[in-house]
A = this chain, B = another copy of it.
Amino acid sequence: MTENGSTNGSDSGSPLTKEEVDAIHETWALVWSDKKNNGIEFFVKFFTHFPEAQDKFKDFKGLSIEEVRAHKKLRAHALSVFYAIKSYIDHLDDLETLTELIRKNARNHVDRKVGGKEVKWLVPPFVELLEEKTNGKVTELHKTAWTKVFDVIASISDEEIEKAK
């Protein structure tokens, strides 16, 4: 997972520069501080951007977006995604652990055919959530940093889909 171009800012093989890691932590803190509500808003945005994603959740398939928002299972679904992201964000400085944490979670999603394409669906709703949380102050650095994080997750998810074939 080493990157050899201009974006690699550390000797650890991390694809993120120090500035990008700082940008991640800074913005994640805003999301995490109200994780229950932000999780629900994130999923509502996710299904609004990609209605086909909603069909992958048997609890939510066919429901209106307002029915999803009020669904008693949405909170736990959203929180479990946020706890997974938190475990990654907490280990951006330990690439081996980070990779293995992502791999374990990717493996749990193989049956539902969640590969790289589906993981990348998370970027637009996540950036939109950040826009709201920062009152429109999301920078290019924030976007690049988070896109890289989701790219790493996407790449490992594709590997696990391939392995399972």
Q: Which residues of A contact B (CB under 8 A)?
A: 36, 72-73, 75-77, 79-80, 83-84, 86-87, 91, 94, 96-97, 100-101, 103-105, 108
CA distance A72 to B100 in the complex (A): 9
Q: Add 15 more A-B contacts to A79-B97, A108-B108 (CB < 8 A).
A: A72-B96, A72-B100, A75-B96, A75-B97, A76-B97, A76-B100, A76-B103, A76-B104, A77-B100, A77-B104, A79-B87, A79-B91, A80-B101, A80-B105, A83-B83
CA distance A157 to B51 in the complex (A): 31
B76 pairs with A80, CB closer than 8 A: no
B101 pairs with A79, CB closer than 8 A: yes
CA distance A84 to B87 in the complex (A): 10
CA distance A87 to B36 in the complex (A): 11
**How distant is A15 from chain B, measured CB to nearest CB, in Å?**
18
Nearest 3 CB-CB pairings of A with B? A76-B100, A83-B87, A76-B101
